Amino acid sequence: MREPKPAHLAMARRLLELEAQGADDDEAAAGRVFERTFALLSPILGTEGTSALFARAAQLAAARFPTLGDTDLDADRSVAPVQAMVARLRRAPATSRETAVAVYATLSSLLETLIGERLTSQLLRGAWPTDDAVEQETK
């Protein structure tokens, strides 16, 4: 898969900034972004499908951020994918924000590949309806 578009990276940065306003740290902000996205996608893709999408995004982003490649998100089904992702981010706090940006941008890029730009934008806007970062994602 190709690298995420600059627009996907910019959207991910913006969403993390929005969530960081009330968070204790970058990992907590990333956790909220991932949780909202997981909750949004699960009714459509199912829990297993959404988990697979998160796992694939982490696997692809691991090329740039090796801490993501240490464990398999699917190895322990008792741990929710979002919790596993946040645990991975905590391993390298100095780069946790950029790691989260890479994962989220990759996730939105994968979703766009599956369902197209327009539907991806509409879906993500459901989680952040008042922010224009999602609106600008595909422009």
* Nearest-10 Cα torsion for 113, 117, 123, 128: 120
Query: What per-residue confidence (pLDDT) applies to 88?
Result: 76
pTM here? 0.81
23 — pLDDT class (breaks 50, 70, 90): low
> What is the percent of the chain where pLDDT is above 90?
21
Q: Give the residue from 55, 57, 67 showing the smallest Cα distance to 27.
A: 67
105 — pLDDT class (breaks 50, 70, 90): very high
Query: Which whole number is the average pLDDT over 29-41?
Result: 89
Query: What per-residue confidence (pLDDT) applies to 70?
Result: 57
